[in-house]
Structure formats: C-alpha cells, structure tokens
Amino acid sequence: NTIEESAFSNCSNLEEVVLSNKVNVINSYVFSDCSSLKKINLDYIVEIKDNAFSGCRSLEEITLPEGLEVIDKNAFKGCGLKYVIIPTSIEKIGECAFGISKKHDCGNLKVIYIPKGKKYNNLPKGVKVKKYTRDKLDKIKQKLLMLK
C-alpha cells in the first residue's frame, strides 16, 4: 500500500506523521516541502521513492527501519538531517538520496553509518562514512541520543 504521489506536498504546517502499518511505500514527492515536518515513523516502509521528503528542512533525525530496501534519488534532499544510519536491508541508495552531490552542499549532514561489509553507490561526498557492526549499533544509537 502506498500514499498517493504529492499527497501532502507543501503542507507547511505539518509537524508529525504517524503512518499506518499497512503503508509500505512512500511515493514520490509525498512529503516534499513540508518545511515544518519534524517527526515521522517509517516502521513498515520498504521503499522511499524520489523526492519523498525533499525540502523537509525541519526533519533533523529519522530512523530508517530494518526492512527498508530502497531510498531513491533526492529522497531526503534539502532536509536538516545530522546523521543517518543505513540499515542492513538497504539494497539501493539513489543518486543524491540525501541531497548531496558535487553541486549540492551537504547541509547539516555530518555522518552516515553503514553496515560493515556493505558497499553502496551514491554515498554523499564530503560526509564522514563510518561502518558499524550489529553488536555496536546500540552503542552508536545511544551516543547519538546524547548529542541531541
């Protein structure tokens, strides 16, 4: 099940979204330019399509669930994300998924954590990439919580 493309695009007063456990794909531009969006649960999502969250500059943190397989191009372009932990289930990260390319500044994004042993194309330039093992993941999450 999906949410219609551009369904909430430009809803500048939207701050929080709780998705049904029946939604598993976030279509293109669904939450694009929701400039006040700060919180969304992605627990059952397996695919985030292109530009789904582009321009959500108040979105400073997000938990990508184990089970998520695809983050399409520009999915989080222009967001306020400070760090991202890529789950082991990710198979594809699209071009500029985090809005970073040779032409685009990385904004607030400082670190991307990826599973040790995995390689991904299209990881952002100019952002520190750190590898993690499953046994260290909880420590990383605790450390990041303390930085809030």
Residues in the chain: 148
Helices assigned H by DSSP within the chain = 134-146
Of 120, 72, 67, whose CA–CA distance to 98 is shortest? 72
29-68 pLDDT, tens digit per residue, is 999 999 999 999 999 999 999 999 999 999 998 999 999 9
pLDDT tens by residue, 70-93 = 999 999 998 889 999 999 999 999
Which of 11-20, 84-93, 97-106, 117-126 comes out lowest in average pLDDT?
A: 97-106
**Torsion angle, alpha carbons of 66, 129, 79, 108, to 10:** 140
Contacts of 116 (CB under 8 A, 6+ apart): 131, 132, 133
- pTM for the structure as a whole: 0.91
Q: Cα(16)–Cα(119) distance, rounded to whole angstroms?
A: 32
Specify whether the CB–CB gap between 55 and 116 falls below 8 A.
Answer: no
* pLDDT for 102 beyond 50: no
